[in-house]
Structure 1
Amino acid sequence: MVETLVDHAPPGPLAIAELGCGIGGALRHILTALAGRTEVTGAVGIDVVEEHARLTDEICAASSLGVPVTTVCAAAEDTGLPDGSFDAVFASGSLSHFSDVAAVLHEAHRLLRPGGLLTFTEEVSLVPDPAALSDAFRAAHPGTVFHRATADERRAQLRAAGFVDVSVRHLGDWAVAILRMRWMSMRVNREKLVEVYGARQQAAVLDTISATLAEVRRGTVVPAQVTARRRPVDRG
């Protein structure tokens, strides 16, 4: 995602925003990685959970990011921020949790300046055939929390929101490597994790990782990075 922002965001200093920022881990990582490569004039983290927004504020204030960071407690589909506020908007793993993705994409389009970049990762939400998903995966990723779509449906939603230059880059190999690393780490640190979270929760997380890894390998879940752009000059 950092390389995408460096290579494809509009030239010049950037104002960026993250939709569904959680406690700001991805936002801080991206700002740190962009330092010395692309000038960022300001960043906004947007999250509907008030505690997440507060923690993002506190942690960013205590970090040496060199960029002013503010947070907004709001739904991703209705941020209340002014039109054309940002040169780049991103979401890191949060898109599957938005119940109305189409509305979120329209809001992202509104927030971007002409020519602005939208990019987001989808770890478990792009599925070629929802009927092919295993029971184990469905149990670990209930449809009320993880909202799924096909890649064609996502492309159609982006175009309906007004985006152009839509691309979907598959990240299957990367996802397999990350999932295997997480599974092994949890096995190695099992005793400590059981002390912190309890045996049932630790086992549930392992089952979730295993179910996801199996689906990615089967191709029934397609991890991807999606990128699109607002037209440099809007028509009409």
Structure 2
Amino acid sequence: MTQPTRPHPVFARYYTKVAGPALQQAGIDAHRRRLLTGLTGEVVEVGAGDGLNFPHYPPEVTRLVAVEPEPTLRALAEERARSTAVPVETIAARAEQLPFPDGSFDAAVVCLTLCSITDPQGALAELHRVLRPGGQLRFFEHVRADSAAMWRVQRALDATLWPRLMGGCHTARDTHTAITAAGFTPTAVDRFAFPETRFPSPAATHILGTAVRTDRGDAR
């Protein structure tokens, strides 16, 4: 699920027709369930895309606000929300400027989103702001590779046409460090390759975990 900075209908069609189904076939639903298990109360998901996470939210979630700035993906999310068990409200907004008061939510979710946000640190600062003290950040993101050789490949891709072709996606971001710098304390982080492929992929290294909002003043 990505968050382009402007309407991106070509990428949206590619994601829903090609990339999304390929990830489904590779077993991403198991990771979606791990990401969302145990959530309760009021939740905001930033970069909700076409709503593929919606069916995996537990019934203890009393309100889900799905933020998605890309119009084509948001329309698909609105359609999917109609058949989702938990109450879903979809809105057009950017992660760097969330239209919610301080302390509005019990939890926040980012799923394959921080790679494509223009200012990920600003987005994380906003998530920190809208969470209640002790609120959870749930994250599932592809990140900078462990090997120096693949990191060089990632940086080369990010400096060329990859972000433009892939809806703003960057492959070499150190998202774990960014989450900590924004005022969150990670409580569980799993690092793994997904999907498993015969040849190394620049977008294969993922982290999935939970972090807690800590009071560190203004993280921005």
Does TM-score exceed 0.5, indicating one fold?
yes
Match of 1:227 among 198, 210, 213: 210
CA distance 1:175–1:221, change in 2 (3 Å): closer
Aligned twin of 2:200:
214
Query: Percent identity, aligned pairs only?
Result: 30
Give the Cα separation in 2 of the matches to 1:136 and 1:156: 21
1:109 has 2:128 as partner: yes
For the 8 Å contact 2:55–2:85, the answer to whether it is kept is no
Aligned twin of 1:30:
56
1:146-183 per-residue CA deviation (whole Å, 9 max, x = no partner) reads 22445xx43432233211235531122x521xxx4xxx
Aligned twin of 1:126:
144
Residues 50-129 of structure 1: matches in 2 within 5 Å? 50-61=71-82, 63=83, 65-123=84-142, 125-128=143-146, 129=148
Give the Cα separation in 2 of the matches to 1:30 and 1:140: 35
The AA in structure 2 aligned to 1:127 is: A
Give the Cα separation in 1 of the matches to 2:208 and 2:138: 7
Q: CA RMSD in A?
A: 3.1
Task: Give the stretch that moved more between structures: 43-52 or 126-135.
Answer: 126-135
Aligned twin of 2:18:
none
Q: TM-score, normalised by structure 1?
A: 0.64
Aligned twin of 2:46:
19
Aligned twin of 1:193:
none
Aligned twin of 2:13:
none
User: If you compute each CA radius of gyration, which structure gives the higher value, 1 or 2?
Assistant: 1
For the 8 Å contact 1:137–1:215, the answer to whether it is kept is no
Match of 1:154 among 175, 182, 197: 175
For the 8 Å contact 2:158–2:172, the answer to whether it is kept is no
Give the Cα separation in 1 of the matches to 2:112 and 2:52: 12
CA distance 1:142–1:42, change in 2 (3 Å): same
More helix by share: 1
Match of 1:164 among 160, 173, 185: 185
Give the Cα separation in 2 of the matches to 1:46 and 1:156: 24
Q: TM-score, normalised by structure 2?
A: 0.69
Q: Deviation of residue 92 (structure 1)? A: 1.5
Structure 2: runs of 5 or more not aligned: 1-31
